[in-house]
A and B are shown apart, each in its own frame.
Chain A
Amino acid sequence: METMRKKAIGLTAALVIIGFGAAAMSLFYWQIVRGEDMRTAAMDQSLRSTTLPAMRGSIYDATGTKVLAQSASVWTVVLEPYFIAGDEEARRTIASGLAPILGLNEEELYEKTGKKDSYYEVIKRKIETETRDAVNQFLVDNEIDSGVRLIDDYKRYYPYGRVAANILGFTGLDGNGLEGLELYYDDELSGTPGRMVSARNGWNLDMPFEKEQMVPAENGNDLVLTIDETVQSILKKYLAEGIEKYEVKNGAVAIMMDVKTGGIIGLSVSPDYDPNDPFTVLDEKMLSDIEALPEEEQDEAYSAALNLQWRNKAVADTYIPGSVFKMCVGSMGLEEGLITEDSMWMCTGGVHFEGMKDPIKCWKHGGHGSTTFREGLCNSCNPWFMHIGDLLGAETFSKYREAFGFTEKTGIDLPGESYSIYHSVEGLGPVELACEAFGQNFTITPVQMITASCAIANGGYLVRPHVVDRIVDPEGNIVKTADTSYRRQVISEKTAATITDILQQNSESGTANGGYVMGYRVCGKTGTSEKVDKHNEDRTKPMEYIASYCGFAPAEDPQYALLVFFDEPGGEDVENSSFTGGNKVAGPIFSKIMEEVLPYLGVDAQYTQDEYDQLDLVSPSVVGKTLEEAYKQLGDMGLTCQVIGSDWDTSITVTQQIPESGANVPKGGMVVLYTEGFDEEGTLVEVPDLIDYDLANATYMATIHGLQVSVRGVSEGTVSLQSIDPGQKVKLGTVITLTFAENINTDGHAPELDE
């Protein structure tokens, strides 16, 4: 018995000590040594962290009421195959049920449900409320509580479509800004996503007794722009008109800026796109070019075209400013006291430089003769400005060039601003200086040019161009406002006033008269830059031009500056086109934009007597009245009339009138009255081609066709634009609006730019 006891004690001791000892060591290892690992792993499998997307801020126009970009709730459908991979029936149910709702391939969906190691398989992004409801209904009907999840998301909408596309930009699939303001202000707009950490049990259901921990998302801030949607639409409308009329081949830019704050009120570029569908090329010419390519090159060409249409030409591209730059060079001369507006200089049609075979010519090959500086600027005389350049010298010229902001980025709040390309002080030899002095042989961005013109318009102060006026948080508090302080004073107010005065004269009777706006004192300067470097690349092709017009209004107290430029106007046959010059191409568009925008912006028209006389009357409504009443009413207004149809009795009722009620009719013009029984066909006439006629001839031509003319702006020179295209059939008495502008290529041939 004693040995049995010993054995029993030994055995029990061995069992307990060895067994529990080993277990205790294991415990120590797994609980203490590896405890943290195990805890983390256990947490990982039971905690689900869900990102709560922040709602992206909206973008408003300057009125604060028009939404240019906003986000709306959508959902992303996600599979959690881990929980269903082993359940054949559930996989099949989900695949066959969701595929038709989401428009997916059932077999592919079924494959995805079998990825047993995955917790997260996106199967469809950005579904809208209806689809979401259908998915939820399906899940409820089939009692699926695990394996399929809907994640909150947002989709971006741009209610005004293409209107401000290149300013706004667009967002990617995950809501991040890819272009434009969406990119530049991505941090402000995107907000801070929240997080929800929830504990799940082994069946992926919420743990019943544990609260979810949530860090709510902070929605993004809103942007209020200086861009006014109305102005923007006007810019866009006329830019499109100009591109079509003048057969512009390489896009166009129109920028309107508040000269005192630097706020950009409108910025329209072409080509553009629809931010709601940014991956579709809209430009028909680009599309047809792509289709003409061999199949394998089309993809590349398409993405190149996409990049082109996403570009903001006003900021990301540089151009040769041409004669527009002369307003700055003139300011430099005046400011330095080297010239006065009455200084004289002799233009012989060209300036000869040492080492060059040919002289650098003035656009007027015969020369302008001896003129004052005022005349020289209005004539856009190249030798005058080469002379100023010579007077200034490279150093002073560079100093002012820098002061006007041509050598640095403007800091505009849009992505991808380009650097300008110019000669350094050392590189500015006599020839280079002469060329730069009349705006050739260096490139700047359109935004730099308009900012410099603002400095002349506002009395000499260089402003900061910007697109965003203020940033507003979701509660409506202003977080940040645009810096509207001046960067520096470039020229004195006196100099600025002198140049302003000359430019006003220029737009009325100088080489920039295409931009004249009736009722407003507009200051303007044309530019017709030669694309020399492109020409040098391929001499077989004709020289292409950039036709630009830059100006501001009203002259008494300049408030708004506008730069319009068309890249490569004149169609395929440039050499024989009469639409290449800044005055003839960009001028009328400048004029039309100003005429429509200024009243909207609250700048009232003030007509001079001459202008008043020229001003059209508004056609009264005489339809429904008797002929007798109509005769009297029109007679009182000084209008004549012609009756078509029965007119034997003055009590006959007028059934139609041309011009229609509310339309323009020239002073002393005619209203055609229609009565019962007129011949519809017989009253239609074909519009004649009035382009290149002077006013007298154009009026004559119109009259013999039974039409009337009305003049927009100055009536000197020849017709550059008629409101109704030749060949169209219109009713007798229709008023055709004519625009007069000369096509002057106000730039001399300049030597090649070496960078």
Chain B
Amino acid sequence: MAAGSRTARGLRRVPQSGPPRERPGEEGPKKKTRGRRIRQRFQVFSLGQGLDMPLFVFIMVLLAVGLVMLFSASYADSYYRQGDSYYYIKRQGVYALIGVAAMLAISTFDYHHYHKFVLPVAGVTILMLLAVVLFGRVLGIEEIAPSEGVAVRWLNIFGIQFQPSEIAKFAVILIFAHLISLYAGKMHTFRYGVVPFLGVLGLFGLLIFLEHHMSGTLIILLIGGAMMFVGGTRPRWFILGISLLGAALVCYLLFGGSYQIDRVVGWRDPFNAPEGVDTYQTRQSLYAIGSGGFLGLGLGQSRQKYLYLPAPQNDFIFAIICEELGMVGALVIMVLFGVLIWRGMYVSLKAKDRFGMMLGLGITFQVGIQAVLNICVVTNTIPNTGISLPFFSSGGTALLILLGEMGILLNISRSASVEKT
């Protein structure tokens, strides 16, 4: 693998290094590549050079809509709880600006360098996850690892509060992309195609599980599983894994006591939930969704955000979108996510190498899985679990990480053989 010698910035290094080496079968005819690069000569200093414009536009549109909706959804709640209607939007706005800048910067940074970052990223992430478990679970130091109910998800160091599990998602994507590109051709074997991945997933999954962060664990597993599946792990292992997980789930439900059954019943009929199952948030979410009807109450007109729906700026922001913009608006948002995911996948598939492709796909899967799961939770399609909606939910570091990942995706697009207008 000579990935390090290639660059997404392309032409800057062309005069010195000559035509890049190619792996046969991966790229189009040499002549065509040359022709395109000559065109790019005149865009050397442009940040937009080589960027996949549709992808960039979808990201910016989602971010813009997300900010508008965040403001609309949050101002009532933050007025009452924070004493400032602009509390969330100011923070989110600042992070978005930084995030976009970071995204553009990162998009100029050749993704092949990330090969070198695999071990440090993995190490730091594991340390942070361990720190959460250590300070939160073992030592119970609230200043460093504040707890919310049973879960301890946050780490508070150097004045920044963030969820190491968010970083862990990227870490897993990075590690998996690295491993898949490393084990190309051996992915069908158990030794290479299953064991290392299972080891990584097991370690991260366990650490996040110890945080009592179920949704985080689930998302990591899904992302990892999807990447393995695409990367070439044999389907039989998935059948086995899914069967084992299914059996474990059934056992959990059967032996986890009637409370778990009650939770399922409460999910199916949140308005007649069994005693002890709190479906308040779901009910308020459905009130919001139902109030919206087909065309919605209009931007800013939500009633449910007035302290009825808990944390409307966060996991349940989509309910406020449904209430204000109606079914039409909600479908438009879903379509926006759909095209972003599709374009992300498309760009990734056009990446010049396996690493780029898997890295891009991993990032795309992450956005896709989170968006789908969040919307399914809000609409009570699946049971309630804390998953934020990318680009929409409030959360500065999460947005920063997301935009950073978008930067990587854009960088992949620069070198991908895609029609970028």
Chain A: residues with CB nearer than 8 A to chain B? 1, 3-5, 7-9, 11-12, 15-16, 19-20, 22-28, 30-32, 34-39, 41-42, 45-46, 199, 201-203, 207-208
Known pairs A8-B357, A23-B376 / 14 extra A-B pairs, C-beta < 8 Å: A4-B230, A8-B361, A12-B364, A22-B381, A28-B327, A31-B290, A31-B327, A38-B286, A38-B291, A42-B303, A42-B304, A46-B308, A201-B306, A202-B306
Partner pick for A203 among B80, B337, B357, B373, CB 8 A cutoff:
B80
- Which of chain B's residues have a CB closer than 8 A to the CB of A207? 303, 306
Residue from A25, A27, A35, A37 with most neighbouring chain B CB atoms (10 Å)? A27
- Which of chain B's residues have a CB closer than 8 A to the CB of A12? 341-342, 345, 364-365, 368
Is there contact, CB below 8 Å, between B322 and A9? no
- Which of chain B's residues have a CB closer than 8 A to the CB of A35? 290-294
Is there contact, CB below 8 Å, between A16 and B331? no
Q: Mark B363-383, 1 if CB is under 8 A from A, else 0.
A: 011001101110110011100
- Which of chain B's residues have a CB closer than 8 A to the CB of A46? 303, 306, 308
- Which of chain B's residues have a CB closer than 8 A to the CB of A25? 381
Chain B: residues with CB nearer than 8 A to chain A? 25-26, 76, 79-80, 226, 229-232, 286-294, 303-304, 306-308, 322, 326-327, 330-331, 334, 337-338, 341-342, 345, 348-349, 354, 357, 361, 364-365, 368-369, 371-373, 375-376, 379-381
Instruction: Say how far B381's CB is from chain A's closest CB, in angstroms.
Output: 4
Q: Please list the 5 inter-chain residue pairs (A to B) with the smallest Cβ-Cβ separation, ordered nearest first.
A: A38-B290, A202-B307, A19-B372, A201-B306, A26-B379
A1 and B26 in contact, given A32-B294, A39-B291 (Cβ under 8 angstroms): yes
**Alpha-carbon distance between A15 and B376 when the two chains are bound, in angstroms:** 12
- Which of chain B's residues have a CB closer than 8 A to the CB of A32? 293-294, 327
Partner pick for B293 among A1, A3, A9, A31, CB 8 A cutoff:
A31
21 contacts between A and B (CB under 8 A): A8-B357, A11-B365, A15-B369, A16-B338, A16-B368, A19-B368, A23-B375, A23-B376, A24-B334, A26-B381, A28-B327, A31-B294, A37-B290, A38-B289, A38-B290, A41-B287, A42-B290, A45-B287, A201-B306, A202-B306, A207-B303
Instruction: Say how far B291's CB is from chain A's closest CB, in angstroms.
Output: 5
**Alpha-carbon distance between A35 and B288 when the two chains are bound, in angstroms:** 10
- Which of chain B's residues have a CB closer than 8 A to the CB of A199? 303
Is there contact, CB below 8 Å, between B290 and A34? yes
**Alpha-carbon distance between A10 and B357 when the two chains are bound, in angstroms:** 15
- Which of chain A's residues have a CB closer than 8 A to the CB of B304? 42
**Alpha-carbon distance between A68 and B331 when the two chains are bound, in angstroms:** 68
- Which of chain B's residues have a CB closer than 8 A to the CB of A22? 376, 381
- Which of chain A's residues have a CB closer than 8 A to the CB of B345? 8-9, 12
A23 and B342 in contact, given A4-B231, A15-B369, A38-B290 (Cβ under 8 angstroms): no
**Alpha-carbon distance between A7 and B228 when the two chains are bound, in angstroms:** 10
Residue of A nearest to B285 (CB): A30
**Interface Cβ pair total, 8 Å cutoff:** 139
Residue of A nearest to B364 (CB): A12
Instruction: Say how far A750's CB is from chain B's closest CB, in angstroms.
Output: 74
Residue of A nearest to B373 (CB): A19
Partner pick for B372 among A7, A20, A201, CB 8 A cutoff:
A20
**Alpha-carbon distance between A433 and B380 when the two chains are bound, in angstroms:** 87
Is there contact, CB below 8 Å, between B322 and A201? no
Instruction: Say how far A502's CB is from chain B's closest CB, in angstroms.
Output: 83
Residue of A nearest to B334 (CB): A20
- Which of chain B's residues have a CB closer than 8 A to the CB of A41? 287, 290
A15 and B341 in contact, given A20-B372, A39-B290 (Cβ under 8 angstroms): yes
**Alpha-carbon distance between A38 and B307 when the two chains are bound, in angstroms:** 17
- Which of chain A's residues have a CB closer than 8 A to the CB of B25? 1
- Which of chain B's residues have a CB closer than 8 A to the CB of A16? 337-338, 341-342, 368, 372
- Which of chain A's residues have a CB closer than 8 A to the CB of B327? 27-28, 31-32
- Which of chain A's residues have a CB closer than 8 A to the CB of B286? 30, 34, 38
Is there contact, CB below 8 Å, between B341 and A30? no
- Which of chain A's residues have a CB closer than 8 A to the CB of B376? 19, 22-23, 26
Instruction: Say how far A382's CB is from chain B's closest CB, in angstroms.
Output: 82
Residue from A1, A38, A45 with most neighbouring chain B CB atoms (10 Å)? A38
A1 and B354 in contact, given A20-B375, A31-B290, A39-B290 (Cβ under 8 angstroms): yes
Residue of A nearest to B326 (CB): A31
Is there contact, CB below 8 Å, between B287 and A42? yes
Residue of A nearest to B303 (CB): A46
**Alpha-carbon distance between A11 and B326 when the two chains are bound, in angstroms:** 29
- Which of chain B's residues have a CB closer than 8 A to the CB of A30? 286, 289-290, 379-380
**Alpha-carbon distance between A38 and B309 when the two chains are bound, in angstroms:** 13
Is there contact, CB below 8 Å, between B349 and A15? no
Residue of B nearest to A46 (CB): B303
A4 and B342 in contact, given A15-B369, A16-B372, A23-B334 (Cβ under 8 angstroms): no
Residue of A nearest to B283 (CB): A41
**Alpha-carbon distance between A39 and B294 when the two chains are bound, in angstroms:** 12
A27 and B322 in contact, given A4-B357, A32-B293, A199-B303 (Cβ under 8 angstroms): yes
Is there contact, CB below 8 Å, between A27 and B303? no
**Alpha-carbon distance between A34 and B306 when the two chains are bound, in angstroms:** 22
- Which of chain A's residues have a CB closer than 8 A to the CB of B308? 42, 45-46, 201-202
Is there contact, CB below 8 Å, between A23 and B303? no
- Which of chain B's residues have a CB closer than 8 A to the CB of A201? 76, 80, 306-308
Partner pick for B230 among A8, A24, A36, A203, CB 8 A cutoff:
A8
Instruction: Say how far A597's CB is from chain B's closest CB, in angstroms.
Output: 67
Is there contact, CB below 8 Å, between B306 and A15? no
Partner pick for A24 among B26, B287, B331, B354, CB 8 A cutoff:
B331
Instruction: Say how far A208's CB is from chain B's closest CB, in angstroms.
Output: 8
Residue from B287, B308, B372 with most neighbouring chain A CB atoms (10 Å)? B287
**Alpha-carbon distance between A707 and B300 when the two chains are bound, in angstroms:** 96
**Alpha-carbon distance between A35 and B226 when the two chains are bound, in angstroms:** 36
Instruction: Say how far B233's CB is from chain A's closest CB, in angstroms.
Output: 10
- Which of chain A's residues have a CB closer than 8 A to the CB of B381? 22-23, 25-26
A20 and B307 in contact, given A32-B293, A42-B287 (Cβ under 8 angstroms): no
**Alpha-carbon distance between A202 and B284 when the two chains are bound, in angstroms:** 11
- Which of chain A's residues have a CB closer than 8 A to the CB of B342? 12, 16
Is there contact, CB below 8 Å, between A11 and B290? no
**Alpha-carbon distance between A142 and B365 when the two chains are bound, in angstroms:** 53
Is there contact, CB below 8 Å, between A31 and B322? yes
**Alpha-carbon distance between A11 and B342 when the two chains are bound, in angstroms:** 11
**Alpha-carbon distance between A170 and B348 when the two chains are bound, in angstroms:** 85
Residue of A nearest to B293 (CB): A35
A27 and B289 in contact, given A19-B372, A42-B303 (Cβ under 8 angstroms): yes
**Alpha-carbon distance between A35 and B345 when the two chains are bound, in angstroms:** 35
A27 and B226 in contact, given A12-B368, A15-B369, A19-B372 (Cβ under 8 angstroms): no
**Alpha-carbon distance between A12 and B367 when the two chains are bound, in angstroms:** 11
Is there contact, CB below 8 Å, between A42 and B288? yes
- Which of chain A's residues have a CB closer than 8 A to the CB of B372? 15-16, 19-20, 23
Residue of B nearest to A30 (CB): B289
Instruction: Say how far A495's CB is from chain B's closest CB, in angstroms.
Output: 78
**Alpha-carbon distance between A386 and B303 when the two chains are bound, in angstroms:** 85
- Which of chain B's residues have a CB closer than 8 A to the CB of A203? 80, 307
Residue of B nearest to A36 (CB): B290
Instruction: Say how far B297's CB is from chain A's closest CB, in angstroms.
Output: 10
Instruction: Say how far A393's CB is from chain B's closest CB, in angstroms.
Output: 79
- Which of chain A's residues have a CB closer than 8 A to the CB of B330? 27, 31
- Which of chain B's residues have a CB closer than 8 A to the CB of A24? 331, 334
A7 and B229 in contact, given A16-B368, A31-B326, A42-B304 (Cβ under 8 angstroms): yes
Is there contact, CB below 8 Å, between B290 and A23? no
Residue of B nearest to A11 (CB): B226
Instruction: Say how far A8's CB is from chain B's closest CB, in angstroms.
Output: 5
- Which of chain B's residues have a CB closer than 8 A to the CB of A1? 25-26, 354, 357
**Alpha-carbon distance between A23 and B341 when the two chains are bound, in angstroms:** 16
Partner pick for B292 among A15, A20, A31, CB 8 A cutoff:
A31
Instruction: Say how far B235's CB is from chain A's closest CB, in angstroms.
Output: 9
Residue of B nearest to A5 (CB): B349
**Alpha-carbon distance between A22 and B303 when the two chains are bound, in angstroms:** 26
**Alpha-carbon distance between A37 and B381 when the two chains are bound, in angstroms:** 18
